[in-house]
Structure 1
Amino acid sequence: MLFNVRFWRKFSLLKHSFEQEYFMIYDLLVIGGGINGAGIARDAAGRGLSVLLCEKDDLAQHTSSASTKLIHGGLRYLEHYEFSLVRKSLKEREILLRSAPHIIGPLRFIMPHAPEQRPTWLIRAGLFLYDHLAKREILPGSESIKLGQHLTGEPLKKGFKQGFAYSDAWVQDARLVVLNALDARERSAHILTQTEVIAARREGQYWHVSLKNSDGEIEDVIAKGVVNAAGPWVDNILGQVTQTGSAHKMRLVKGSHIIVKRLFDHPYAYIFQNPDKRIIFAIPYENDFTLIGTTDVEYQGDPGEVTIDHAEVEYLCQMSNRYFEQQIMPSDVIATMSGVRPLFNDEANSAASVTRDYSLELCFENNAAPLVSIFGGKLTSYRKLAEEAIDLIAPHLGNKQGRWTEGECLPGGDIPNMDMSHFIQLCQERYPWIPATIIVRYAKSYGTRLHQLIGSAKSLDQLGIEIAPTLFEAEVMYLINVEWAKTAQDIIWRRSKLQLHLQDSDIAKLEDWLAVHFSSAAALTNNLAWSTSLTTGEVSI
């Protein structure tokens, strides 16, 4: 069935406005579509709260898609005596590995040892603590290795003789955000992207909120409570939108990464200790590349305009060259990522030593409508943060439902026994006509939801036109219909990393395809009628 997208956009806005005025008041409005906002919306919807999440850009467009792609306890935080944060993160590492084995997986790290750095006994003690601070069932423990007898020693300079191995996990960070938003919607939350909260005022027990969409149209909604999960814009929301202020302060720190052609041919990652006491990671990335990062630089500009600077590129190249035989220069950098970390200001002396823990602030006075603001946090602890945020605000919304997310899979994560290899094998047997490389990518991106993407297709032709190499119409339509994608960047950078494998001409073809098929891509999923019908599978184009 072919829908007139603009008609349905207008219809749904009118319907939504009518419902808001006469029938429905949201229990909770969540501001921000990064990992914390999406996680909070999911948790709240699962407890039976009516939820509206508003994101002014795309889901995970900023900080949450510019991470080092790790689910980890934070080995270096032990040096700052943040044992509670590390313990909490290690617990979450196990929970998240089980919840989304398609987009989160084990990763073994190698730490080469240099004699001028921390003594080996201290590293062993730190790794022992890292292994035992929290219960560990999935990942193997740490060990000492002789680099000259281990394949991970081959890419390193010959001066490195001894090293240590330990385990953490990798994640497709932007997909983690999308899957949380998807789960929230399937539990009846409404997710609006390209929708900015421009004003919010308390009137007794309600928040009256004005929203502005990408067409400049303004819509008013009502909510009993608000969660400010705007990341680097938390202070802006407090000062300019809710006009409530806060005793807490944010510290904005820029973290940048570079991507170069693959520097090693094995599945391990490296953690490097540097003379300035910082660490960087070198991680196998998207099969053909190595991701190197991150930096820690104080940032004062617009978080939406953050970019890597030349000094950061040179720094990361120098740190890589200190360890690897294969030397790299700025001209070898294929792509970069920069994001602004909204860290809780603990008055630390350096950006690198600022805590990665979080703080939640509840503003609730004289029975007025509550507001919770999120300060700080990191990718690994998002689920726990969301749980605590809803624990804090739910009683003021008359909700007494208990915690539920710890044992629940994210969409597509219900892989039998968490065995991705066996799942991929079964998918290859079921769809022998799909090239193996595509099936592997589908499995590691969509998990069991790949069956929904493929639908009733029996051949590649039935997946539609191959718009760009390995990118068929069926996948593009799935991302638009189900995952809020609207632009080429949404599709080939945040929902996937296909951009790294495509030529400029391929990207131009995708942009042309979107322009031809959708006169207003922003109208596709940014309305409530569309979002509701998608959960029942009733909409197709």
Structure 2
Amino acid sequence: MGNSGNPIFDLFVIGGGINGVGIANDAAGRGLKVGLCDKGDLGGATSSASSKLIHGGLRYLEHFDFRLVKEALAEREVMLKKAPHIATPMRFCLPHRPQLRPAWLIRTGLFIYDHLSRRTTLPSCKMVDFSQVSPLNPAFKKGFEYSDVWIDDARLVVLNAMQLKQLGGDVRTYTEVLDASRREGHWHIHWRDLKSGAEETVRSRVLVNAAGPWVQQVLESTVGIAGQKTVCLVKGSHIVVPAMHNERRAFILQCDDGRIVFVLPYLNEFSLVGTTDVEFSGDPSEASCSSEEVNYLCGIVNRHFNRQISPNDVIWSYSGVRSLCQDDAKAPQAITRDYAIEMNDQDGKAPLVSIFGGKLTTYRKLGEAVVDELASYFPGTGPCWTKTSVLPGGEGVLSPATYTSELLKEYPWLTKEQALRYSSSYGSLAHCFLTKASSFSDLGEHFGAGLTSKEVDYLIESEWACSVEDILWRRSKLGLGNVEVQSLGRYLESRLPVL
């Protein structure tokens, strides 16, 4: 779309993380012409480095973030209906440590958690006794159990982008905005396609800065406007270890420093442990899990579980950086995770919207809030719609388990493991690469761990996959499996320009 002779965008978003795609998708569904770009992959930074939960944030109650908790709790039920293929209920067990929090305080918090928002499918909280077969240290006799929701964070980003494209949105990955300036009541946005090197300038009535940990950099360097908010960058790291137990429930561990750490069942064979909260400076794209963080997470697990782990047991680790609005909190974990929206315009035209903070759970509500705020610039904007819409692949899916059975009936040559991966990653979108196949060999070259060239072709053509990392660590987590990475790389080189 060029600088003249073509329609201009109503709204253009810098940042293809969950907040960016959520805002863009909401706006497109209300009738606006929307563009979005990211200098990397969709969800390539913080949005694929979360704890992969849609949760109310039990610990936020201690900081009196009742509005955030209420909004987040309601989103659990919304997401189970909106993305039934990638979102599933999960029970969380909280071992009681009376020296940290008395039982009455936890009961009160869980009562609020149960009643602050309406539940329709998730079971209520309860007390639990740990039996002799518990994976926990025998010192833990009692605890509490409650419900939240597990979700594939990176796929949530991609599915929102797919819906945005279906609504007419222009989505560009590996495209960096070099400069954006106001001229004659519009934003003139100059970008470079990092794959081809081509540069272009487009126009938009509204510019949204949803660059996550780069939000302040975009303000100061790309746009040249001083923001009003003070940003604090906080790094959260996770480790993946062999499964700590064979239960389907997760554990939430209380730490001596007031933090909590999750131990989550992960891909059937592993446990996902996290997260840390460490103040961060530097380039967010270079964030990694430090040895101190690994030791911290291992130490917390070892204090609670019979099975002991060491840094040598860590199979994989990842880190993400959040840009949080600095408040009066004295520790990184106490800074609010609520989102903040900063807006300014020029004589009632060319508004700039910048997003600070936020979390995976509340991305949809953030999108609604931003587009609601922009409604005065676009008379006739449609109503909110995302609460009841189903994301691509979720149509006709009740749960990954039930859809696995349907796939096995239609494609009996699939293994149960393959069908479950397809149903919990793609839902009904799996038919895009399965429909014409009558055997596994019909899916083309096999790269290992069940990944085939037909699936890779689908990811390239429909989900913006451009690199081995895009496929193995975001569109899937097959990087933890026995994949022939070099063969996959060669195949991608034959299909795509090298990044």
How high is the TM-score relative to the length of structure 1? 0.90
- The answer to whether the 8 Å contact 2:36/2:170 transfers is yes
- For 2:227, what is the secondary structure of its paired residue? coil
- 1:429 maps to 409
Deviations 1:384-441 (Å, cap 9, x if unpaired)?
Answer: 001111111232134421111110011011235x243322211111100112111110
CA distance in 2, matches of 1:394, 1:196: 28
- 1:123 maps to 106
CA distance in 2, matches of 1:438, 1:344: 43
- The answer to whether the 8 Å contact 2:93/2:252 transfers is yes
CA distance in 2, matches of 1:183, 1:281: 31
- 1:444 maps to 424
**1:465-504 → structure 2 map (5 Å cutoff):** 465-502=445-482
CA distance in 1, matches of 2:40, 2:201: 19
- The answer to whether the 8 Å contact 2:85/2:426 transfers is yes
Deviation for aligned residue 1:342: 1.3
CA distance in 2, matches of 1:187, 1:404: 13
- For 2:479, what is the secondary structure of its paired residue? helix
Structure 2 residue 152 is the aligned partner of structure 1 residue 172: yes
CA distance in 1, matches of 2:28, 2:496: 33
- 2:96 maps to 113
- 1:72 maps to 55
- For 1:405, what is the secondary structure of its paired residue? coil
- 1:379 is matched by which residue type in structure 2? L
Match of 2:315 among 334, 337, 344: 334
- For 1:118, what is the secondary structure of its paired residue? coil
**1:368-517 → structure 2 map (5 Å cutoff):** 368-416=349-397, 418-502=398-482, 506-515=484-493, 517=494
CA distance in 2, matches of 1:30, 1:270: 37
Deviations 1:298-351 (Å, cap 9, x if unpaired)?
Answer: 001111111111110100000000001111111110000100011121231110
CA distance in 2, matches of 1:128, 1:308: 35
- 2:139 maps to 159
- Identity over aligned pairs, percent: 47
Match of 2:21 among 30, 38, 41: 38
- For 1:337, what is the secondary structure of its paired residue? strand
- 2:152 is matched by which residue type in structure 1? Q
Deviation for aligned residue 1:461: 2.0
- 1:95 maps to 78
Structure 2 residue 498 is the aligned partner of structure 1 residue 518: no
- The answer to whether the 8 Å contact 1:259/1:290 transfers is yes
Match of 2:10 among 12, 20, 27: 27
CA distance in 2, matches of 1:80, 1:113: 20
- 1:236 maps to 217
Give the length in aligned residue pairs.
498
Structure 2 residue 171 is the aligned partner of structure 1 residue 187: no
- The answer to whether the 8 Å contact 2:177/2:192 transfers is yes
- The answer to whether the 8 Å contact 2:466/2:496 transfers is no
- 2:470 is matched by which residue type in structure 1? D
- 1:284 maps to 265
CA distance in 2, matches of 1:424, 1:115: 43
Answer 1 or 2: which has greater helix percent. Answer: 1
CA distance in 2, matches of 1:112, 1:408: 37
CA distance in 2, matches of 1:192, 1:422: 34
Deviation for aligned residue 1:271: 0.2
- The answer to whether the 8 Å contact 1:28/1:227 transfers is yes
Deviation for aligned residue 1:41: 1.1
Structure 2 residue 345 is the aligned partner of structure 1 residue 367: no
- The answer to whether the 8 Å contact 1:56/1:193 transfers is yes
- The answer to whether the 8 Å contact 2:323/2:357 transfers is yes
Mean alpha-carbon deviation: is it higher for 506-515 or for 193-202? 506-515
Deviation for aligned residue 1:468: 2.2
Deviations 1:45-101 (Å, cap 9, x if unpaired)?
Answer: 111111110100001110000001110000000001111110010011111111001
Deviation for aligned residue 1:467: 2.1
CA distance in 2, matches of 1:192, 1:317: 39
- For 1:156, what is the secondary structure of its paired residue? coil
Structure 2 residue 198 is the aligned partner of structure 1 residue 220: no
Deviation for aligned residue 1:453: 2.3
- The answer to whether the 8 Å contact 2:32/2:381 transfers is no
CA distance in 1, matches of 2:450, 2:361: 31
Gaps of 5+ in 2: none
Match of 2:41 among 58, 74, 95: 58
- The answer to whether the 8 Å contact 1:260/1:289 transfers is yes
CA distance in 1, matches of 2:218, 2:339: 18
- 1:197 is matched by which residue type in structure 2? V
- 1:200 is matched by which residue type in structure 2? A
- The answer to whether the 8 Å contact 1:468/1:510 transfers is no
Q: CA RMSD in A?
A: 1.2
Deviations 1:453-488 (Å, cap 9, x if unpaired)?
Answer: 213222212211112230111100010000000101
- 1:49 maps to 32
- 2:465 is matched by which residue type in structure 1? A
CA distance in 2, matches of 1:37, 1:90: 22
Deviation for aligned residue 1:204: 2.6
